[in-house]
Each structure stands twice: as C-alpha cells, then as structure tokens.
Amino acid sequence: MRSRQVMEHLEDLAERLGVEIVYQKLGEEEFSVRGGLCKVNGAFKVFIDRSKPVEDQIKILAHGLSSFDTEEVYLFPYIREILDKARRYQ
C-alpha cells in the first residue's frame, strides 16, 4: 500500500474519532518538536510537522490514534495492523 493512501485512511479514521489533525511546521533551530496527540480545550488534536516525510507523519498519526478504542470501527486490516504496532511501542 502506498504511503499516501495509508495516510488518507488514517486521516479518515481521525475524522471519525473526532480527532483534529493540525499540520504545521513544528520546532525551530533552538529546539525540536516531534508532534503527536494532545488535548486542547477538551478537544483531541494530533500535531504533525508538515516538513517531515509521509512515512514519519504516518508514524506520528498512528501513534496518536492508537490511544483510542477502535474495536467497533471498521478498519482495513493493514490499518488495524499499523495501529496495533503503534500500540506496542507506546
């Protein structure tokens, strides 16, 4: 599966879970910010550095979404596998 398609499926899942994805350049030369899941004013958001390769963006988004219960949500098997792998490395 191509990385862009995987990212689109994860973005769709985030929307179904009510998680906003915020793409922006993170960090400056003085410090580094990786991105990830946080709660802002009661709403879950995943911050992703737009300048990172798609593969890194997938890892960050999958890691954030792996915190949610997706047992009752239909997912393609490879997306479920990506989330399971992210859960194991939390």
pLDDT in tens, 7-62: 999 999 999 999 999 998 887 666 667 789 999 999 999 999 988 999 999 999 99
Domain at 3-88: CATH code:
3.30.2010
pLDDT of residue 25: 83
pLDDT of residue 89: 81
Residue 82 has pLDDT above 80, yes or no: yes
Return the structure tokens found at 36.
């990830």
pTM of the model as a whole = 0.90
pLDDT of residue 71: 92
Query: What distances in angstroms separate CA 2 from CA 9, 49, 54, one per listed residue?
Result: 11, 20, 10
Rg (C-alpha) for the chain, rounded Å, is: 13
